[in-house]
Amino acid sequence: MLKNRLKGANTGHSLLKRKSEALTRRFREIVKKIDEKDGKSHAVASFSYAEVKYIRESAKVAQLKVKAKTEKSFELTGLGRGGQQIQKCKDTYQKAVEVLVQLASLQTAFVILDEVIKITNRRVNAIEHVIIPKIENTIRFVQSELDEMDREEFFRLKKIQAKKKIRKDIEDAIREAGQAEAAPNIMSAYEEDPDVIF
């Protein structure tokens, strides 16, 4: 039963170790995605904002009013290229906000994964450094007790055999002595009889 528990603990340890490695791999992937998305979105938004500032500073006050149609209508964005750049900056920042929402979900997953990895690693360490050694020590103790009981039983059986042999030897000696006394000697009978003469 203890050996089965030890085997189960070793199996659980290896499974938790693999789970921890898989979670760590996923954790690194999320960190990589966060770095990529965060860096790209901030860079694009910053460049777009810099373009708007540059164009706005270099734009002069319009002196002529010209009606022109463009493929995209930029309502309420002013005249000239400055309005288009502001609209482009607005679109870029909207995309950046969407990316930030994705980043927030990735960071939530990041925090959850971090906590799960810590819990899994604690379990792996507990199994590796507490449970498995405890079971192994119990198995060694039980094995040594069983070995001691076997030695005691062997010694007891040897003592019983020695006592039986001594008892048998005594009984054999008594039996031989009893048979020697009980059996008459034919020659001794003639010695006591007086000689008969005819």
* 59-70 per-position pLDDT tens digit: 555 555 656 565
Tell me if 168 is assigned to some domain.
Answer: no
Give the number of domains in the chain.
Answer: 1
Question: Tokens 């022109």 belong to which residue?
Answer: 68
Residue range of the domain that includes 101 = 2-60+70-148
Instruction: List, for residues 8-46, the tens digit of each pLDDT value.
Output: 888 888 888 888 888 888 888 877 877 777 666 666 666
Structure tokens at 69: 């149609």
Given pLDDT bands bounded at 50, 70 and 90, which one contains residue 154? Answer: very high
Cβ within 8 Å of residue 110, ≥6 positions away: 27, 30, 31, 34
Taking 80 as the threshold, does the pLDDT of residue 194 lie above it?
no
Q: Is 64 exposed, middle or buried (0-12, 13-18, 19+ CB in 10 A)?
A: exposed
Give percent helix, percent strand, percent coil of the chain, each to the nearest 5.
85, 0, 15
Question: Tokens 């040897």 belong to which residue?
Answer: 158
pTM of the full predicted structure? 0.50
Instruction: List, for residues 82-140, the tens digit of each pLDDT value.
Output: 567 677 778 877 887 787 787 788 788 888 888 888 998 898 999 999 999 999 999 99
Q: Is 96 exposed, middle or buried (0-12, 13-18, 19+ CB in 10 A)?
A: buried
Tell me if 163 is assigned to some domain.
Answer: no
Q: Got the DSSP string for 118-181?
A: HHHHHHHHHIIIIIHHHHHHHHHHHHHHHHHHHHHHHHHHHHHHHHHHHHHHHHHHHHHHHHHH
pLDDT for position 130: 92
Tell me if 157 is assigned to some domain.
Answer: no
Tell me if 135 is assigned to some domain.
Answer: yes
Centroid of chain to Cα 23: 12
What's the CA gap between 40 and 185, in Å, rounded? 127
Cβ within 8 Å of residue 44, ≥6 positions away: 92, 95, 96
Taking 80 as the threshold, does the pLDDT of residue 144 lie above it?
yes
Taking 60 as the threshold, does the pLDDT of residue 177 lie above it?
yes
Residue in 34, 13, 15, 10 with CA at minimum distance from that of residue 113: 34
Tell me if 28 is assigned to some domain.
Answer: yes
Tell me if 154 is assigned to some domain.
Answer: no
Tell me if 156 is assigned to some domain.
Answer: no
Residue in 133, 140, 142, 143 with CA at minimum distance from that of residue 10: 133
pLDDT for position 10: 87
Tell me if 114 is assigned to some domain.
Answer: yes
What's the CA gap between 125 and 67, in Å, rounded? 74
Cβ within 8 Å of residue 116, ≥6 positions away: 23
